[in-house]
Amino acid sequence: MNAGETFDGSTPDGQTTGGMDAQPSAESNPEPHVSGLLMCLQRLARLQQTPVEILDLQEAVGRLDKGELTQRKLKKGIATLTKRLGSPKAEWIKQPEPSNMPLLSWSAAEGFSVLRGQNAVGQWVLEAWIPEEQVWLERVVDDLENTVLPRSHWQRFFKPVSPQSTS
């Protein structure tokens, strides 16, 4: 790591340093963001202390893994995921509050991450999975403009079966 470079290979002003350690551009990988979805969902389930079947998550992620991800495809994919898990439908949060945390976060520019909350200076704290390095990277942003925030509890809810009357 060079002087003045952050863990993700960028300088403090946000510019990438290039060279051999530079990350591949979005053009070289047409589906760069879908790979982090499964890890983010697993992390959310752990943070919410809810057991989730990994096969259910993998199936839902597999349905999203086709072409370029858009906001519409994401909403459809999250609906499929909650239906598959038997969870309540996701709420789409416009302005997050501390009581809503943690949340799944997605933007076309940054991909998937886990929104953990706000720090003391009001910046939003996000964690993103870096598959090349197999680590979680924490970053802060000033605003969540152009970010989609679905809120759901990723657990299976069982509906009670009403006893059938015997005559």
Question: pLDDT at residue 123 above 80?
Answer: yes
All structural domains of the chain: 34-151 (3.90.70)
Question: pLDDT at residue 155 above 90?
Answer: no
Structure tokens at 49: 């202390």
Question: pLDDT at residue 108 above 50?
Answer: yes
pTM above 0.75, yes or no: no
Question: pLDDT at residue 32 above 70?
Answer: no
Give one DSSP letter per residue of 68-100, joined into a string: S--HHHHHHHHHHHHHHHTPPPPEEESS--GGG
Please name the residue that has the structure tokens 């969870």. 87
Give one DSSP letter per residue of 115-147, joined into a string: EEEE-TTSPEEEEEEETTTTEEEEEEES--TT-
What per-residue confidence (pLDDT) applies to 164? 58
